[in-house]
Every structure is written in C-alpha cells, then in structure tokens.
C-alpha cells in the first residue's frame, strides 16, 4: 500500500451540477465566455436587456462557468467597500416538465432569493438596495437603514414596501409575502407561498393572504416571477442562468419543449430591461434549437452567443495541476517532488491522453483514473454501465427520500410521466384538452390528474372541475393522485363529496408511496442528466437511450418495484376506493403523531376494532404497537425505514 | 620550496537523471521557438547541469522527427511546439487580408504566433515554389514584392484583359450585350454556366487546383454564413454543407484541414451514433470517427 492509498482523489467530482457548487477554478479556461457573461451584466445594469447563448460539448464546463460567474458576483459584493449586492443571481437547472416551466423557474428563483449572506437573504439585500436608492443615499446606507428600520421603525419600512409595491404594480399577495420576508417573519410559510406551494387555509390566513384560486398555476407562477423581476430590476440587474435545456425534451425529436422554453425565456426577457438571460446549450442541439425556437424569441434570448472551445494542451496541463495544487492532503507529498509538476501522476500523463478534442470533464475523469492507478498500483477499468447506473440510482434515491416534501409530488409525477409510460408500456400524451396533467395511452387510456392542494377551498374548486369533466370525452379512465401525507381533512366536507362523486363515476384514487416518489425522482434525474450530457461514467457521457435500455433491464427488480407498483396502480382496472376512515386516521396522526387506539376511536367516532382494522391496512401511514395500551404511530413518509427497523 | 601538496582535481561522477529525455521533450514542447543554445535556461534548475546531454537529446529528438524544428544555419536549431510551416500558413490564411511584403508578413506572424517569425523568410522561398503563397506585383514607388494566398489573376490575365477592353469597345458599338459576350467567353473556357463550387470541382482536372478552389469556396461561404448570423458564435455544419453542395469527403477534408491549421474550430456531437444515418451524414467526421456538428471561426479569422 503506497502513502497515496489513503488520500482522497482530487479529480473526483468532475460533474458540476449547480452554479452554487464550490469547485477548483482555472480562470484562464473559457475566459472569453466569462467576459461575455460579465458584459451582459454590465449591459443589464445600464437597463439594456441582454442575453447570451453558451454552446459547449457535454462536459465542456458550461455549469462550471456559471459557478464562476456566481462566485465572481458574490466576491465582488463582499470585497466592495460598501459590501452591497451588485446583481441578483438565479440558477435554473431545467430538470422539469415543459408544462411546469414557469412553476419551476418560480421555485428556483425564490430558493435563490432566500439564500443568506451576512445574515440577510438576497431578497432582503435587494430591498435594502432600493431603500438606499429611493432615499437618495448609497446602497450601503440602504443596508444599514434596513437593519435599523426592521428593529426600530416597522411602520416606516412597511410604508416603503407598500409604495414600492404600488409603484411596480406588484400583486397584493406578493407584497404581503415580501413584508413577512423582509421582517424575517413566518419565513418558512411565506417563502413556501412565494415558491408556489399550496398552503392550508389557516396558514394563508396567518399570512394575510387570499385563497389560492388561480385556475392556471403556470400563469400564476409567471405573474409572480415577472413581479419579482420588476422588483429586482428596479435598481439591480437580475441574471437568470438556464442550464440543461435539453432535459426538457421528452424524446430526441421533441421540439415542442424547446419552443416552450423559448417562449418562457422571451417573456422573462420582456419582464424588465434589467434582466440578463444566459442559456447553456449542448453544441449538438444547435440545429434543433434554431428550428424549434421562434425567430422573434431567439432574437430576445440569444442576442449574443459564445462557444466553449476544447482545451489546448497547455490548458489541460494547467487544469490537472490546479486540481493537484488545490489538494491540501497532497501538499506534503508533492513538496518532495518539486521537479514533477504533475506528481503523483506520471510526467507523461498529458501526452498519453487520447486524441483531441479535450473537454475538462473527460480530462479530469482520466486524471482520476490515473490517480487511482498510482494509488492501487493497477488500472481500474470504468464500472460497467449497469453498475454505474445502479449506484447512481441508489445514491440519488437516498438523497431524494431524505428531502422529499409533499409539495414535490406534482413535479415528480409530471416529470416522471415519461418513465411511468415507459414502464407501463404506453405512450405519453401531454397537453390534454380535458386538463389532465398527462395521459398515457396503452392497452387502455389513463388520464392522471395530480390534486395536491393543501388549501381545502382550492381543492374543492379543482375537484369540482374534475367532476365537470368526468366521464371524459375520450373515454380515458381518470385517476386522481394525491400525496399520501396530505389526507383530506374531515372538515373538508365538499372535497369529500366531490371525491365520492368521482369515485361513483369510476375515477381511481392513488396515493403514491414515498419510496415510489423517491425512485421516480431519482430515475427522472438520471434521465434528465443523460439528455443534457451531464451523466458521465468516468467522463464518458451516457445518452438517454442507454438509460432507457437499462431501465427496461430492471423490470421486475427490487430497484424498480416501487415505481412499477405505482404504474400498476395508475393503470389498474380495479376500483380504488377512498377510505374516509383511513383519511380521518391519517389526518389525526398527522396532528398528534402518536395516539392510543381507544382515544383515536373516540375522536373518530368509530369502534376501536374498526380503527384497528384500518390502522393495520394503512401501513403507509400507521404503525400499530400492540399494547396494552395499543398505540398508533404516524409513519407517513418514513415507510421504508420502518420496514427496515421491523 | 616546498608548498602544500596540491589537491588533485577529481571530477564528480555525472549521473544523468533517468527522466532527462522526458524533461527535454516537455521543455521543447512547452516553449515557443526555443533556440538550442537557450535550452539550458529553459530546463528546470536541477537539470541545468546536464545542458550538454540535454542538447544532444534535443538534436536526436529533432532528427527522429519527434519535435518540430527549423535550422536557420548549419549549426543552429530552433525548436517549436508545432510545425512552423503549418502555423505560419494558418496565421496567413486567417489574418492576411491583402497582398503584403515579406516585412509585413513577418510582423503579422510575430503578432499572431510570436517566435515563429524567424521562419517566415525561408518558408516564403519554398512556399512560393510550392504555390502555397503567390507573388503579387510591388506597389507603385516600391520595389518590394508582395505575397498573397490567392494568385494575382489580373496580372496573369493582363494581356487578355487589355485585349478584352479593346474588343468590348467594338462589341458595344455593334450593340452586342455584355451577357452575349460573357456567354461566348464561357463557351471558349469550356463552361456553359457560371462556375459553382460543385461545377468547379468537377471541371478541375488538376487535383491541387480542385482542392484550392473548393477550399476557397468553403472559406467564402463560411464567411458569408458568419456575416449573415453575426450573433451566432457557432454555425451549423449542416447549414454550411447545404449551401456548398460539395462532395461529403471533400467538405469534411477541407473542414478538418482548416481546423488543424487553427483557422476554424469544430465542435463535436457527443452522441452522433444515436442520430438517423441521413442526419449524421450531414456532420463532419474525422479519422477517429468523431462527428462534428458546429463550426466557428477562430478569433481574428
């Protein structure tokens, strides 16, 4: 075992998936593209709208470049004498469905606005910036004013926010939520609303918000995003970085998705002259993008373009050296070999690389393998594709399971519809004329409508709409999907009535398990990365076709079981009843988490025997601990862990 | 008189480092135009005591063709990181916009490929012979010859053009249209239509002139495509191919040559294998089977 054996490989983690990710940066690489980004921000600062299209091969460093821009903006703000925000930065990885584009942008923008630095969120800093400008003072003075006013003169700050809202024609609900967020009050709920989550009526009441009754959630998201653009653009440039545009496509020939992206980005461009849009696109999509996106939209979202060229040999060497030099663990060892700039790699490593074109990801992957070879004394072949994908699935599934929130269910299902169709052997049809979220046409036609509203009154309106459209004109079976962690409360009488009507008309009701959602999210993420060239096995990109082939090979396996069960439930001929006692029990446990059987029965006005029977059946929500006294535990969302424990 | 016994001079045994050849190779490849006499200074300090051995290795590498070099005199050697002739040609193709004197060419190369200018003079002599560059008449009041990538057609056809001017005076007087004249001239040249890149390619009998003509068309059309799309840093190979109507092999060869010379950059398709064959055929394929979908002019090209 060499002394290298225990050291971490400095070349691993060569796929950059997020502009907020910290990476070793070599500014010489793609310096001209970086300058083009900065020029765009300068332009937007002067109120001249700008946009930039960045072309590059898979692994050429598109996301890495956006990360450099994000760090540059943060560092410029931090190191400036007044330490104020210079630009609002939002990074949007387009791993979503084209139907949910605006909702996705809304969620990402709000997440980025809520990032904190020096105790203040990006949103608070931009309000502070405006306080300074409006008051005729510096941005720094605005920052101080915000800190002071928040503590000492609430009324003055509220007055300013209201004036701003009126001047920028911001919707009332947006203004109200901004007030909460500026004062750090009800931050969790206020930011959840701003990001587009459905909230219970009592929470909406606490926030002072009206009901969420917008018919079209996409349109509602567009209104909020453009309002936030106006808010930011009033005094600061706002940069949107769109990455992985290709992953929007359902199939390799799907131009509708690119068309929709073009429309959305062009609208965003029009929202405010201070908006600067950066779009990253794989070189391979050059023809398709031009065909699919309207000329008028291209003129707005691709005013300029740059190409990330392959690396020169000198850049390759510098890239490898930069990684080695950044490794603290290697410092002492490298100091013993001052004449070997690539130590511990072989001096001939650069010359031994396969022929050009060299892209950073590929070079780093090869360096990682060479490093491992030095560590273990033998060359490690890349893992077989199936093994690599299986490992990816496990890692991503575990991450998804830990982070999944009921608000994610709609996004996961709509985005994963392509996979559900694949597993169910059907064809996916979007843009349903009868307003279902998606339709899968296989042996029989199934229309899926995700009804995940938490706010009871919004749910009533949407269920009533479904009742109106049932039975469907195309004869498809309608299936209503709702997150299992969102029981329909006992007091939501009207919603339950609508569900009962729907059930009588043969509509199915499916509650996907957390396991199924986590697996579907992980699989859709893998497929999305493959489509946008960001899925690489040791630096070699894996395309969507390989992922689909692997998926087919998984049929009947444990890994795919939760998703197959979900697909089976969606396509099932069986009547899927909505058990109101189960809904009541889930709601009760959601509130109290642990309940004695007797007390639960009393609360639900049912016999203990009946409640126990339901509790045994509702394994996704309830764990029964035999007594005496018999206890019922809320396990919604933690089903797999419970099973493992038992 | 007896003095202290003089210490006998003994030379330390010289152990040449095992990796000296690697170090020399890296030094030569990493430097821009390195004279053999300057090699010592460019070596890492621990290797400088072995300058003589390093020079011998450098000569050997040059003789084996492992590193590009130029021999300005019998004893001197200058090493380059890439073939100096190819580099100079690429610079001139990209940056030379009109005929220039040798001095101007040297300055242009010094600007765009520092160090390579020492080779301009000898390169020019051989390049003219090989018709890689063409002599043009000196400007009025100057005796300095000028050079350009394209031949001076007007000079070559000077007597023809003079005769044509005289003939046109007569044909105009007779009321013969210029189109009619052009048709006769084209018939005389053995062509019934205005030459297109494709017809030029077919009409050409000499392989070299065919290449040059197609290459010129390629460069001209690429330039036109770039000026029509000033906001697009990367142009579509499919679009360019559609406009040129060149044979696939010829189109691909020209593009790959220009990329090698540094005049253009080609951008590969990561997953061309998944494309339908007819679409894939529109891309450029290199000797390794790699497909290129995008093309861009390099800076200043």
Q: Identify the CA nearest to B20 among candidates A372, A219, B48, A133.
A: B48
* Interchain pair B269, A347: CB under 8 A: no
Q: Taking CA atoms, what residue in B is nearest to A355?
A: B288
CB A449 within 8 A of CB A479: yes
CA A190 to chain CA centroid, nearest Å: 19
Q: Which stretches of chain A sit within 8 Å of chain B by CB? A: 32, 53, 55-58, 252, 282-284, 286-287, 290, 302-307, 309-310, 313-314, 338-339, 347-348, 355, 357, 533, 541, 543, 545
Q: pLDDT category, B201, cuts 50, 70, 90? A: very low
Q: Which of B270, B279, B280, B299 to mutate to test the interface with A (most CBs of A within 10 A)?
A: B270
**Predicted local distance difference test score (pLDDT) of residue A139:** 65
For residue B102, pLDDT over 60 is answered with yes
Residue-level length of chain A:
646
**Interface-testing mutation among A284, A302, A349, with chain B (most B C-beta atoms within 10 A):** A284
Q: Does B259 touch chain A (CB under 8 A)?
A: no
Q: How many CA atoms lie within 13 A of A7 on its CB side?
A: 22
**Cβ-defined contact of A55 to B267 (cutoff 8 Å):** yes
Give the side-chain half-sphere CA count within 13 A for B60: 10
Residue pair A561/A435 in contact by the 8 Å Cβ criterion:
no
- Nearest chain B Cα distance for residue A557, angstroms: 27
- Nearest chain A residue to B272 by CA: give it: A284
Residue A303's pLDDT is what?
93
The Cα of B2 is separated from the nearest Cα of chain A by a number of Å equal to 49
CB-nearest partner of A347 from B22, B47, B268: B22
First to last CA, chain B: 80
Q: Can you give the pLDDT at residue B205?
A: 41
- At residue B275, the 3 state secondary structure works out as coil
Here the ipTM equals 0.76
The Cα-based distances of A327 to A1, A139, A344, A376, A530 in angstroms read: 20, 38, 12, 19, 29
Q: What is residue A31's predicted lDDT score, i.e. its pLDDT?
A: 94
Task: Give A242 to chain B, closest Cα distance, Å.
Answer: 18
Question: Would you state the pLDDT for residue A165?
Answer: 86
User: How far does Cα A396 stand from its chain's mean position?
Assistant: 13
Q: Is A627 helix (H, G, I), strand (E, B) or coil?
A: coil
**Whose structure tokens read 């700008």?**
A50
Looking at CA atoms only, how far is residue B237 from chain A in angstroms?
9
Q: 10 Å Cβ neighbour count for A319? A: 23
Tell me which chain B residues have a C-beta less than 8 angstroms from the C-beta of A362: none
Residues 194-233 of B with CB under 8 A from A: 231-233
Nearest by CB to B234, from A55, A339, A355: name it: A55
Q: Which helix (H) or strand (E) holds B258?
A: helix B248-261
Complete DSSP assignment for B181-249: HHHHHHHHHT-SS---HHHHHHH--SHHHHHHHHHHHHHHHHHHHHHH-TT-SSEEHHHHHHHH---HH
Q: Are strands A508-510 and A477-481 parallel, antiparallel or unpaired?
A: parallel
- The DSSP code sequence of A406-461 is GGGHHHHHHHTHHHHHHHHT-EEE-S-TT--SEEEESSSEEEEEE----SHHHHHH
Find the length of chain B. Answer: 301
User: Do A283 and B269 lie within an 8 Å CB cutoff?
Assistant: yes
Task: Report the sign of the C-alpha dihedral through residues A635, A640, A641, A646, in that order.
Answer: positive
Interface contact flag, A287 B44, Cβ < 8 Å: no
Regions of chain A where pLDDT drops below 50: 1, 639-646
> Would you say residue B66 has pLDDT above 80?
no
Q: Which two tokens stand for residue A113?
A: 């606005």
Whether residue B81 is predicted with pLDDT greater than 80 in this model: the reply is no
Using CB atoms within 10 A of its CB, is residue A451 exposed (0-12), middle (13-18) or buried (19+)? buried
Long-range contacts of A493-497 (CB under 8 A, 24+ apart): A494/A460, A495/A456, A495/A459, A495/A460, A495/A463, A496/A580, A496/A583
Confidence (pLDDT) at B22? 78
In this predicted structure, what is the pLDDT of residue B73? 75
| Angle, alpha carbons B101-B106-B108 (nearest 5°) | 95
Which of A52, A286, A338 to mutate to test binding with chain B, by most B CBs within 10 Å of its CB?
A: A286
For residue B5, what pLDDT band results from cuts at 50, 70 and 90? low
- From the list A201, A181, A198, the residue with the least C-alpha distance to A190 is A181
Which of A306, A339, A543 has the CB atom closest to B274's CB atom? Answer: A543
Contacts of B290 in chain A (CB under 8 A): 357
Give φ, ψ of A93 to 5 degrees.
-85, 120
The residue behind tokens 């016999």 is A607
- d(C-alpha B237, C-alpha B284), whole Å: 7
Reference A51, options A344, A235, A261, A205; nearest CA is: A261
Beta-ladder partners of A275: A238
Q: Which CA distances in Å does A108 have to A23, A102, A461?
A: 21, 10, 27
Of A53, A286, A541, the CB nearest to B270: A541
Beta carbons of A305 and B231 less than 8 Å apart? yes
CB contact under 8 A, B22 and A306: no
In sign, the C-alpha dihedral spanning B38, B42, B47, B49 is positive
> Given an 8 Å threshold on Cβ–Cβ distance, is B232 in contact with A305?
yes
> Cα separations (Å) of A389 from A119, A401, A554, A584, B255?
40, 18, 11, 41, 37
Measure in Å the smallest separation between the Cα of B294 and chain A Cα atoms.
Answer: 6
Percent of chain B with pLDDT over 90: 13
**Pairwise pLDDT comparison (A43 vs B19), residue with the higher score:** A43
- Cβ separation of A57 and B267 shorter than 8 Å? yes
Q: Name which of A284, A307, A309 is nearest B270 (Cβ-Cβ).
A: A284
The dihedral of CA A373, A376, A377, A383: what is its sign?
A: negative
Q: What angle do CA B153, B252, A290 make, to 5 degrees?
A: 105
> Which residue in A197, A162, A155, A192 sits closest to A176, CA to CA?
A162
The whole-angstrom distance between A525's CA and the closest CA on chain B is 19
CA distance B268 to B255: 13
Q: What angle do CA B232, B254, B110 make, to 5 degrees?
A: 75
Helix or strand holding residue A276 (H, E) = strand A275-282
Per-residue pLDDT at A81 = 62
pLDDT at B199 (0 to 100): 39
Q: Which residue of B47, B236, B268 is in closest CB contact with A357?
A: B268
- Encode pLDDT of B114-131 as tens digits: 888 888 888 888 778 777
Determine the residue of chain B that is closest to A346 in CA distance: B22
How many CB atoms are closer than 10 A to CB A575?
Answer: 10
Between the alpha carbon of residue A484 and those of residues A404, A509, A514, the distances in Å are: 12, 11, 8
Crossing angle for the helix pair B237-244 and B248-261, nearest 10 degrees? 120
| The pair of three-digit structure tokens given for residue B180, joined into one six-digit string | 């009619």
Q: Select the residue of B47, B270, B296 nearest A57 (Cβ to Cβ).
A: B270
Q: Does the beta carbon of B104 lie under 8 angstroms from any beta carbon of chain A?
A: no
Peptide bond just before A373 cis, omega within 30 deg: no
Task: Measure A356 CA to nearest chain B CA, in Å.
Answer: 10
Beta-carbon pairs below 8 A across chains A and B: 77
Q: Could you tell me the strand order of the sheet in which B146-148 lies?
A: B100-101, B146-148, B134-136
pLDDT at A622: 84
pLDDT at position A233: 77
CB-based contact A287 B236, cutoff 8 Å: yes
Sheet holding A508-510, edge to edge: A427-429, A438-441, A445-450, A477-481, A508-510
Task: Measure in Å the smallest separation between the Cα of B163 and chain A Cα atoms.
Answer: 50
Residues of B in contact with A347 (CB under 8 A): 19, 22-23, 26
The whole-angstrom distance between B13's CA and the closest CA on chain A is 22
Contact A315, A27 (CB under 8 A): no
* Nearest residue of B to residue A340, measured between CA atoms: B23
DSSP secondary structure string for all residues of A475-492: -PEEEEE--TTS---TT-
Contact at CB, B288 and A58, closer than 8 angstroms:
no
B296 has a chain A CB within 8 A of its CB = yes
Helix/strand/coil for A509 = strand
C-alpha distance from residue A531 to each of A95, A102, A250, A282, A528 (Å) = 10, 21, 9, 10, 5
Residues 36-55 of chain B with CB under 8 A from chain A are 44, 46-47
Tell which residue, A233, A124, A220, A241, has the closest CA to residue A180: A124
Most B CBs within 10 Å, among A301, A343, A357, to test the B interface:
A357
């Amino acid at each position: 075992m060499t002394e290298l054996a225990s050291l971490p490989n400095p070349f691993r983690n060569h796929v950059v998936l997020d502009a907020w990710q910290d990476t070793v940066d070599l500014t010489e690489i793609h310096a001209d593209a970086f300058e083009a980004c900065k020029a765009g921000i300068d332009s937007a600062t002067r109120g001249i709208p700008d946009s930039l299209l960045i072309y590059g091969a898979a692994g050429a460093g598109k996301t890495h470049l956006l990360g450099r821009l994000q760090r540059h903006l943060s560092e410029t703000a931090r190191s400036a004498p007044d330490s104020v925000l210079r630009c609002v930065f939002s990074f949007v990885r387009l791993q979503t469905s084209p139907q949910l584009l605006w909702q996705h942008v809304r969620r990402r923008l709000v997440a980025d606005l809520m990032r904190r630095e020096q105790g203040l969120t990006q949103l608070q800093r931009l309000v502070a910036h405006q306080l300074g400008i409006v008051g005729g003072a510096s941005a720094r003075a605005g920052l101080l004013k915000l800190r002071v006013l928040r503590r000492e003169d609430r009324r003055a700050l509220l007055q300013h926010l209201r004036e701003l809202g009126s001047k920028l024609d911001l919707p009332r609900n947006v203004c109200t939520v901004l007030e909460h967020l500026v004062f750090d009050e009800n931050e969790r709920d206020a930011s959840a609303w701003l990001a587009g989550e459905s909230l219970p009526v009592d929470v909406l009441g606490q926030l002072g918000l009206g009901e969420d009754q917008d018919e079209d959630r996409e349109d509602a998201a567009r209104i909020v995003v453009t309002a936030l653009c106006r808010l930011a653009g009033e005094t600061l440039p706002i940069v949107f970085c769109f990455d992985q545009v290709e992953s929007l496509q359902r199939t390799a020939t799907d131009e509708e998705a690119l068309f929709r992206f073009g429309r959305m980005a062009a609208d965003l461009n029009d929202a405010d002259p201070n908006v600067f849009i950066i779009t990253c696109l794989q070189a391979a999509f050059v023809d398709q993008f031009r065909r699919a996106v309207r000329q008028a939209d291209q003129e707005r979202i691709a005013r300029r373009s740059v190409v990330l060229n392959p690396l020169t040999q000198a850049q390759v060497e510098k890239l490898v050296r930069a990684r080695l030099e950044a490794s603290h663990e290697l410092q002492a060892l490298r100091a013993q070999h001052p004449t070997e700039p690539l130590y511990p790699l072989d001096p001939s490593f650069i010359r031994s690389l396969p022929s050009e074109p060299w892209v950073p990801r590929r070079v780093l992957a090869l360096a990682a393998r060479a490093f491992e070879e030095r560590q273990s004394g033998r060359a490690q072949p890349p893992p077989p594709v199936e093994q690599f994908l299986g490992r990816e699935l496990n890692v991503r599934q575990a991450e998804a399971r830990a982070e999944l929130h009921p608000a994610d269910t709609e996004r996961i299902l709509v985005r994963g519809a392509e996979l559900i169709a694949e597993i169910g052997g059907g064809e996916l049809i979007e843009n349903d004329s009868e307003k279902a979220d998606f339709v899968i046409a296989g042996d029989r036609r199934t229309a899926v409508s995700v009804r995940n509203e938490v706010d009871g009154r919004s749910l009533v309106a949407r269920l009533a709409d479904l009742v109106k459209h049932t039975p469907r004109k195309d004869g498809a079976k309608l299936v209503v999907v709702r997150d299992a962690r969102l029981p329909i409360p006992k007091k939501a009488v009207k919603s339950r009535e609508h569900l009962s009507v729907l059930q009588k008309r043969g509509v199915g009701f499916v509650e996907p398990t957390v396991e199924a959602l986590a697996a579907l999210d992980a699989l859709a993420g893998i497929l999305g990365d493959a489509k946008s060239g960001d899925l690489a096995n040791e630096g070699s990109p894996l395309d969507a076709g390989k992922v689909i082939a692997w998926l087919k090979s998984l049929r009947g396996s444990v890994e795919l079981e939760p998703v197959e069960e979900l697909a089976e439930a969606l396509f099932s001929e069986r009547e899927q009843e909505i058990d109101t006692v189960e809904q009541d029990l889930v709601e009760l446990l959601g509130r109290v988490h642990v309940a004695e059987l007797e007390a639960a029965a009393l609360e639900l006005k049912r016999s203990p025997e009946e409640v126990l029977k339901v509790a045994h059946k509702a394994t996704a929500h309830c764990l029964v601990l035999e007594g005496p006294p018999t206890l019922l535990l809320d396990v919604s969302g933690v089903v797999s862990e419970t099973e493992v424990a038992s | 008189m007896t003095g202290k016994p003089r210490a006998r001079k003994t030379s330390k045994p010289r152990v040449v480092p095992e990796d000296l050849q690697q170090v020399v190779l890296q030094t030569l490849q990493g430097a821009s135009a390195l004279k053999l006499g300057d090699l010592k200074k460019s070596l890492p300090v621990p290797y400088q005591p072995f300058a003589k051995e390093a020079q011998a290795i450098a000569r050997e590498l040059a003789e084996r063709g492992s590193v590009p070099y130029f021999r300005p005199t019998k004893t001197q050697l200058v090493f380059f990181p890439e073939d100096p002739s190819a580099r100079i040609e690429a610079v001139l193709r990209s940056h030379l916009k009109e005929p220039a004197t040798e001095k101007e060419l040297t300055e242009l190369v010094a600007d765009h490929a520092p160090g390579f200018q020492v080779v301009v003079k000898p390169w020019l002599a051989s390049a003219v012979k090989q018709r890689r560059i063409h002599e043009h008449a000196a400007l009025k009041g100057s005796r300095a010859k000028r050079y350009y990538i394209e031949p001076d057609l007007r000079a070559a056809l000077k007597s023809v053009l003079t005769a044509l001017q005289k003939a046109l005076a007569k044909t105009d007087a007779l009321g013969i249209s210029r189109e009619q004249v052009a048709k006769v001239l084209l018939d005389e040249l053995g062509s019934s239509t205005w030459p297109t890149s494709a017809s030029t390619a077919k009409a050409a009998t000499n392989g070299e002139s065919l290449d040059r003509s197609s290459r010129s068309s390629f460069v001209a059309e690429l330039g036109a495509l770039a000026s029509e799309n000033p906001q697009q840093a990367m142009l579509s190979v499919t679009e360019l191919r559609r406009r040129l109507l060149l044979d696939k092999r010829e189109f691909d060869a020209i593009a790959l040559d220009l990329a090698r010379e540094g005049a253009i950059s080609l951008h590969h398709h990561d997953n061309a294998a998944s494309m339908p064959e007819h679409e894939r055929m529109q891309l450029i394929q290199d000797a390794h089977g790699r497909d290129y979908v995008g093309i861009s002019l390099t800076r200043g090209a």
